[in-house]
Amino acid sequence: LGRPHRVEGVVVRGAQRGRELGYPTANVETLPHTAIPADGVYAGWLTVGGESMPAAISVGTNVQFDATERTVEAYAIDRTDLDLYGLHAAVDFLAYLRGMEKFESIEALLLCMAGDVKRARDMVAAHEKEKDAA
Ligand code: FMN
């Protein structure tokens, strides 16, 4: 403990919905027997090629879209320009934000995601500031 939990794998193509929603995510294909945190939304980091980026992370089956496959997806905050397919990535979990939900509409999901991203950004920034001060 005392260190965020890390999950690693290759970035694979998801349902390609994220880009349309405005939150493109890196779907990290973890190795079998990887300890994946409980379904939900988390604040943390996506690290690729030595660069760590603050991220809002989703673990679950994307119930909003009636998907059945459990995925670990990280949205690198404000980085809508990334093309990470095929690259090795690490996802670090800093804090649990909420459970996976099925909303009444996509708009409601997007509204909630905007709040998640804001909270994740603030929490990561606060954590990094604390670490720098130590
Ligand atoms: N999917 C849900 O079904 N319910 C949620 O509550 C939910 N919250 C999310 C919160 C964040 C911050 C992120 C990044 C994703 C969330 N998702 C949620 C997952 C999105 O549905 C998923 O990223 C999107 O469908 C794109 O999937 P794709 O990469 O397979 O195309």
Rounded-to-integer distance, Cα 99 and Cα 49, Å: 30
Q: Which atom of ligand 1 is nearest to the CA of 41?
A: 10
Instruction: State in Å: Cα 16 to ligand 1 middle.
Output: 11
pLDDT in tens, 64-113: 999 989 999 999 999 988 999 999 999 999 999 999 999 999 999 999 99
**If you take atom 24 of ligand 1, which residue's CA is the nearest one?**
18
Average pLDDT across the chain, whole number = 94
Ligand 1 pocket, residues with Cβ under 6 angstroms: 14-18, 21, 23, 25, 27, 41, 56, 58, 62-65, 73, 75, 100-101, 109, 113, 116
Rounded-to-integer distance, Cα 134 and Cα 6, Å: 22
The predicted structure's pLDDT at residue 2: 66
- The domain locations on the chain are 5-133
Of 18, 76, 19, 78, which is closest to residue 48 (Cα–Cα)? 76
- Position 40 confidence tier, pLDDT thresholds 50, 70, 90: very high
pLDDT in tens, 23-32: 999 999 998 8
Backbone angles phi, psi at 129, to 5 degrees: -65, -45
How much is the ipTM here? 0.97
The predicted structure's pLDDT at residue 27: 97
The predicted structure's pLDDT at residue 131: 87
The predicted structure's pLDDT at residue 15: 86
Instruction: State in Å: Cα 133 to ligand 1 middle.
Output: 34
Backbone angles phi, psi at 110, to 5 degrees: -65, -35
- CATH class, domain 5-133, is mainly beta
